[in-house]
Structure 1
Amino acid sequence: MAQMLGFGQPFGGVMQTAFVVEDVRAAIAHFQRDCGAGPFFLLDHFLNAGQFYRGAESSADVTIAMGFAGHMQIELIQPLDSNPSVYRETIEQRGYGFHHFGIACADVEAAMPEYLARGYDLAFKAAVPTGGSVAYLEGGDAAAPGFLELIPATQGMDEHFTAMWRASLDWDGYDPVRPFI
């Protein structure tokens, strides 16, 4: 049996579905009203030193909201500037909508060579508040609808995301948008 995260998703499997959105608060309202997801946890600015987009340092800033629909984490990403990024290029190529699947990895650096050997290319890398760095990959299977994000399944990530998931259990609509903390 696969090792499971505290919110019921397996290591090495899809734990997150992400969308690039024009207005994060409108997208939160949609996912709450029409998809039964929530509450959402909002990070107003995600711009840290050491972000790399296509091999160059990146200065793109985004707002991120995360919530759960069952055991699946939903991530909503709103670009806050016009700086080059994996989010801006998706909008330019396909418009707003699906962006990536997030895959929980025990060790992102150790997992990357296998993906690269299967034809994926590294498009973006950034340190995250829950520990480690995420890596966005593209290519591989030509049928892939977007990026794959390798997410470090650190203890901090598992604890933080599990707390978000627990907040979704029997959520009654109270306090629909909360700080990411």
Structure 2
Amino acid sequence: MSRIFGSITQLGYVVRDIQTEMQRWIDQGVGPWFYVHDVQTDDFTYRGTPSPMKMSVALANSGDLQIELIQPRNDAPSLYKEFLDSGREGLQHIAYWTNDFQGLYDRALGLGYTVGHEGSIGGELGRFAYLDTEKSLGHIIEISDISGPKGKFFEYIREVAATWDGSEPIRGEVDKLA
């Protein structure tokens, strides 16, 4: 438990082939996966500059821990692209969820953290920020607002995973994450 951020709620993997990676996790018994081919972000910025980043995302839970797979879909600047361009693939970030995003965001910046990229999914209550901690920690820290529809969707994913019988391992195109 972090005295600053709370409990780790998600592990985020940046991958080159999201379909293959979902299958690897399914083979380990983790699922079902909620897959969105074209995630629509709002006001996405990379190092303070607007970026037209496109990505696919798949989400599943293992107990209370959410697993996120992210595949960039264009060459627009992002920490995801930076990660893959460095020759890596795999665990890129750990995430902390909050119902007081602005408070946590301000606290993190006040402690000297800097934002690598940020945006929102589904409006103001779907904000997220990736803190540029890779050089000091070996991974990025994400903070994510779950006070709106995204939080309800994340809870639904956890509930479905808790009773998953292995059927329908990929839950197709979800309209959006929020």
Evaluate the alpha carbon distance shift between residue 140 and residue 71 of structure 1 in structure 2; reply closer, same or farther with a 3 A threshold. same
- State the distance in 2 between where 1:141 and 1:109 align: 25
- Residue of structure 2 in register with 1:25 after alignment: 19
CA distance, structure 2, for counterparts of residue 90 and residue 38 of structure 1: 25
Tell me the residue number matched to 2:102.
109
Output the TM-score relative to the length of structure 2. 0.87
Equivalents in 1 of 2:165, 2:43: separation in Å?
A: 39
Superposed counterparts of 1:48-59, under 5 Å: 48-59=41-52
Give the aligned residue type for 1:27.
E
Q: Distance in 1 between matches of 2:62 and 2:42?
A: 31
Letter matched to residue 128 of structure 1: I
Q: 1:14 corresponds to which residue? A: 8
Paired residue for 2:57?
64
Q: Which amino acid aligns with 1:134?
A: F
Q: 1: distance between equivalents of 2:49 and 2:64?
A: 35
Alpha-carbon contact 2:126-2:150 (below 8 Å) kept: no
- How many residue pairs match? The answer is 169
- Give the whole-Å Cα distance in 1 for the aligned partners of 2:60 and 2:147: 19
Write the deviation string for residues 39-61 of structure 1: whole angstroms up to 9, x where unpaired.
00011112434111111111110
Kindly state the Cα deviation for residue 132 of structure 1 after the two structures are TM-superposed.
Answer: 2.8
| Cα 1:49/1:128, change in 2 over 3 Å | closer
Q: Which runs of 5+ in 1 are unaligned?
A: 1-10
Within 2, Cα distance between the matches of 1:140 and 1:79? 19
Shift of 1:165: 1.1
- Equivalent residue number for residue 169 of structure 2: 176
In structure 2, what is the equivalent of residue 135 of structure 1? Answer: 129
Between 92-101 and 56-65, report the one with greater CA deviation: 92-101
- SS of residue paired to 1:42: strand
- Cα distance between partner residues in 1 of 2:166 and 2:76: 35
Structural RMSD (CA): 1.9
Q: 2:79 matched to which residue of 1?
A: 86
Contact in 2 for aligned 1:134/1:150 (Cα 8 Å): yes
Change (3 A) 1:127 1:155: closer
Query: Could you tell me how far apart the structure 2 residues matched to 1:46 and 1:100 are?
Result: 18
Contact 2:42 2:121 in 1 (8 A): no
Q: Is the 8 Å Cα contact of residues 115 and 140 (structure 1) preserved in structure 2? A: no
Shift of 1:127: 1.1
Matched position secondary structure for 1:90: helix
SS state at 2:156 partner = helix
* Residue 3 (structure 1) aligns with: none
For residues 156 and 12 of structure 1, what CA distance do their matches in structure 2 show? 21
